[in-house]
Amino acid sequence: MEKEIVWHLVLENKNELAEGRVMTVNAGHKSICLTHFEGKYAALDNKCPHQGGPLGEGSIENGLLRCPWHGWDYHPCTGKAPGYDDGVETYELKVEGNEIFVGLEAEPPHETTISDLMVDTMVNWGVDTVFGMVGHSNLGFADAMRRKAEEGKLNYYGIRHEGAASFAASAYGKLTGRPAGCFAIAGPGATNMFTGLWDAKVDRAPILALTGQVATQVLGTGNFQELDLVRAFQTVAEFNHRVQHTSKHSELMSLAIKNALLKRDVAHLTFPDEVQQQVAADGAKAQTSEGRITPMTIAPPKETFDKALEMLNKAERPVIIVGHGARFHMDKVVAFAEKMNCPVLTTFKGKGQISDQHPLGCGVLGRSGTPIASWFMNEADLLLVIGASFSKHTGITPKLPTIQIDFDPLALSKFHKVDAAVWGEISVTVDMLNEQLSEYNNKVDRRPEIAKRWAIWRSEKAKRLIEDRGEGLSSIAVFDSLTRLAPDDAVMCVDVGNNAYSFGRYFETQNHSFLMSGYLGSIGFAFPAAMGAWAAVKDSRPVIAVAGDGGFCQYLAELTTAVKYNMPIKTIIINNNELGKISKEQRALEVDVWATSLVNPDFAAYATSIGALGVQVTKREDLDEAMKQIMAHDGPALLEVKTDVKLI
């Protein structure tokens, strides 16, 4: 049978290729070296058979085409290597007018690869969002994701640094409880993801790490960008495997996602280069999650539940403290609090889980918190702690009778003995308490006192708001404006530093969600997290990133990513030209302030230069108008506020 030849237009104007020159062109998926020698055009395979050097980047010297990598020579028209019986393949070529066409055999239909099978399985399990960087050791897997993206079943976001990819995926997991993927090449691309993966791990967010790897045959030989990724990821990944050609591929991907979901941890798969494009075995099928994952609605053991119920019945002034682990259960928690007229405090990671406008909401407890929350903890006769971890930052007292409810048994009584450590799914456990609590008449209605304490705190904030040393705006003014003008359902992504302390203390929540680097406390989190949050909510909710100048500069380039994908993230930069929190810590340690000053760009001008809206404020009277301007902008927008490092 005569083979079908397909003609591809590779050059619209032949005059672009001068006599004695070569160039790389593409005919379909085939890379071609196009030559012009002695008045004749020719098409050669672009790969030198030595090591695949791109001949189209070479040059014609002394009548021979020289490979740019190692100097091997070929005839520019025939592809023959002088003195040898090998060479490179040539292809049919025709010139029509000024246009050059190359004729190739019709490409065979695409066959399902191992990567296709694993990407299909990943999407079937609900992982439809990946942040990453495509490179030479992950191209086969990237091509499989491209096909799925073209079907509209996968959202892929190409980032500028792999650390941003893992932070974005971590934030996605924190917000939704579902894993997103982060994707990198072997070696440095993979290691760049470590910080974001550790952030997800210690904050118990599900995440899927996908890395390319050098070919199996050169592992252990010191190959370029070779790194034992399974060994490297051993400390951070709960599930950690290299994909082999003999693996049960769809099962391996299913287990990775199942581990990420159930253990709320890091799952890592690394793909050797040669495995990625290997054709899948006959009959191999992508898996789904159907029948593969159990409901999580477990009830608590009777003995600890009964003890908790007895303690709650006796308490007259109970207080509920909720952490980030309770974020998906707040409707049940608030209903229970309303039944007891009981104050609800949050950890910093749990900020916004109950509105500060709710008559029982008392704001954040601890170093980033309000005096309202600490007042009610100290006045309580019982603490009901739900989905919180007793970190030093929060400072939950061990001196009061305490009930702790958590789905993770290892989190119970983690740092000290707890009177009633109740292991169970939070909604189920709180529902049971709500149904079985019998004593309400002995409970003191705390709502009038909560309102009084809020009035005292707001009066204090008003006094701090007027402070002005003439060296920039106060952070208090920034968060006062943000409280009044931010959309009431925004997802707020917080960085690390004095900006975060001020945010926790002064910003009053409504229906907001908050994302932060909690236990890891990694500077630079806010903006990549905002990209992850936007990918999760799209246009259903606004997304706002709040960062200091030090934190934002760590992933400054990712603003270009937001512009590329038209992510309408609103970014607030607290610019005081200093790592202010570190200066404060140095003073507290009674040592000299050293190496904390910063030289910053004009952030607003930078934002404008790349296609976002950039606005800079240096006067308090301009702040509200600027805040309104960026919130109303249809697209990415950045507000840079020049602030006083000491007014926090």
What is the DSSP pairing of strand 491-494 with strand 543-548?
parallel
Q: What is the 3-state secondary structure (H, E, C) of 202-244?
A: HCCCCEEEEEEECCHHHCCCCCCCCCCHHHHCCCCCCEEEECC
The pLDDT of 588-606, averaged and rounded, is 95
Q: What is the mean pLDDT of the chain?
A: 95
Task: Provide the pLDDT for residue 490.
Answer: 98
- What fold, for 114-276? Rossmann fold (3.40.50)
Query: Domain boundaries in the chain?
Result: 5-105, 114-276, 302-448, 466-642
Each residue of 392-427: pLDDT tens digit? 888 999 999 999 999 999 999 988 899 999 999 999
Q: How far apart are CA 544 and CA 529, in angstroms?
A: 10
Question: Could you tell me the maximum CA-CA distance found in the chain, to the nearest angstrom?
Answer: 102
- Give the CATH number of domain 466-642: 3.40.50.970
Q: Is 2.40.50.180 the CATH classification of the domain at 5-105?
A: no
Q: How far apart are CA 527 and CA 547, in angstroms?
A: 8
pLDDT at 551 over 70: yes
Q: Which residues in 159-197 are b (16+ Cβ under 10 Å) and which e?
A: bbbbbbbbbbbbbbbbbbebbbbbbbbbbebbbbbbbbb
Using 50, 70 and 90 to split pLDDT, how confident is the model at 83?
Answer: confident
Q: Do 466-642 and 114-276 fall under one CATH topology?
A: yes
Each residue of 48-75: pLDDT tens digit? 998 899 999 999 999 999 999 999 999 9
The pLDDT of 322-343, averaged and rounded, is 96
- Give the CATH number of domain 302-448: 3.40.50.1220
Q: Which two tokens stand for residue 310?
A: 């007895």
Indicate the helix (H) or strand (E) that contains 456: helix 447-465
The pLDDT of 583-603, averaged and rounded, is 93
Using 50, 70 and 90 to split pLDDT, how confident is the model at 1?
Answer: low
Among candidate residues 227, 170, 226, the one with its CA nearest the CA of residue 203: 170
Partners of residue 213 on adjacent β-strands: 272
Each residue of 445-463: pLDDT tens digit? 999 999 999 999 999 999 9
Among candidate residues 508, 598, 491, 488, the one with its CA nearest the CA of residue 552: 598
Q: Which two tokens stand for residue 162?
A: 């792999």
